[in-house]
Amino acid sequence: MTTAPTLTGLSRTTRGSGPGLLLAHGAGGGIEANYGPILDGLAAQHTVVGVDFPGAGRTPQSRTPLDADELADQMVAAADAEGLDTFAVSGYSLGGPVAIRLAARHPERVTALILSATFAHADTRTDLAASIWQQLYESGQHTLLAGYLNLMAPGEGTLNAHTPAQVHHSAEQLASAIPPGTGDHVDLVRRIDVRADLAGIAVPTLAVITTEDPLISPALQRHLAARISTAEVAELPTGHLPFAERPQEWLKLITGFLARH
């Protein structure tokens, strides 16, 4: 595994060999945080390149609001730096609309899309959840924010498998690990809108619907999938954290789809 800056200053993680696979992570996450449990499995058959958005991983925080087009282009710059002419793109949560923008801007480079627990735009419910997330982060109430994320991210069964004391302890640990770019990421969640790009997606696409997701509703996820003519749908019975709740099942869905395409 190597970690290095891209040509545009974003740090990247590269692992494995074979056909290219770019990874786009979620808000308040990072490549290691969101894909770490399945990186080895993805890299077994692919050259995996994951880019940390500003304020995540080793990438410095941005001084300006994040722009989806710029993030998409920076991911392509990372692929260029690793010698990848074409590649599949896996987008998780916020990484989903960024991946769609990438495919719309660089259709000749993208061979397939995998969109997990994601959305094309923030509906009223998602915007409200993101607004509270953003306000708690910007107010410095990070332990309260971590508690809110413990409520809003895992599925009900996963959450209830822990005692209140365990959840409180988890929130204290999570509070200290929240990336500095979280506010910027969540701001982009509220602004990004790729609905106009969906009809133009022509590559094989897998939409992984997290069916017990309290943060990005399954209905919103299905709304995206229904507007991509090439999309096939797979259901995963998790909340918003497939990498934590059912990582091996998530990995199997992704690698099985890529093997077929």
The pLDDT, as a whole number, for residue 6 is: 40
Residue 4 pLDDT > 90: no
Distance from C-alpha of 99 to C-alpha of 42, rounded to nearest angstrom: 17
The pLDDT, as a whole number, for residue 9 is: 74
pTM, to two decimals: 0.95
Query: What contacts 10, CB < 8 A, 6 or more positions away?
Result: 51, 52, 53, 54, 59, 74, 78
Residue 152 lies in a domain: no
Q: What is the CB neighbour count within 10 angstroms for residue 239? A: 25
Structural domain of 43: 2-124+180-260
The pLDDT, as a whole number, for residue 8 is: 52
Q: Which CATH number fits the domain that encloses residue 34?
A: 3.40.50.1820
Ranges of beta strands (E only) in the chain are 2-5, 11-15, 20-24, 47-51, 87-92, 110-116, 205-210, 231-236
The pLDDT, as a whole number, for residue 135 is: 97
Q: What's the total number of domains in the chain? A: 1
Across the chain, mean pLDDT equals 95
Residue 86 lies in a domain: yes
The pLDDT, as a whole number, for residue 103 is: 98
Residue 172 lies in a domain: no
Q: Taking a C-beta distance cutoff of 8 angstroms, is the pair 56, 185 a contact? A: yes
* Rounded average pLDDT over 48-73: 96
Reported as a single tens digit per residue, the pLDDT across 65-107 is 999 999 999 999 999 999 999 999 999 999 999 999 999 999 9
Residue 174 lies in a domain: no
